Amino acid sequence: GMRIPREVKPLRFKNVNEGMFLAGVVKEVREAEALVSLPNNLTGWVEVDHVSDELNELIESTLEDDEADAPALSDYLWPGKLVRCVVLSTATVSGKKSGSHKHVAVSLKPSLCNSGLSLGSVHAGLAV
């Protein structure tokens, strides 16, 4: 049968790596990016072009059509929405005022998030 680990280690920034699948909750939606709450008080950043393939196609078609309004990110994401994401990169960014903060770039695109999803790759302790 499936072995269940005795203890689930909390997710720490240093253990977050590229390609890891995580569950998150949208925290804030801005014009071209969104913030996602990840486990253990980490925050993921989603750029507008990593929300969905459908949204990207809409944005591209509105760029070609001067009359069309660009789709709003808030039509796709809203605070409290549960999302499945894949880590694109991590960095420790040092700011002048706030000191260093941990930057986790994530993608919500189903084409990326569903590609490798198996039971073993979902981080233990996450509700997906």
Strand bridging mode 33-38 / 99-107: unpaired
- Alpha-carbon span 56 to 17, nearest angstrom: 25
Tell me the β-bridge partners of 83.
24
Q: For the whole model, what pTM was predicted?
A: 0.74
Tell me the β-bridge partners of 34.
29, 46
pLDDT tens, per residue, the chain with 128 residues: 666 666 667 778 888 889 898 999 999 999 889 999 998 888 999 999 999 988 888 888 888 888 878 788 999 999 999 999 999 999 887 777 767 778 899 999 988 877 655 544 444 444 44
**Confidence (pLDDT) at 125:** 46
> DSSP class of residue 122?
B
**Confidence (pLDDT) at 81:** 94
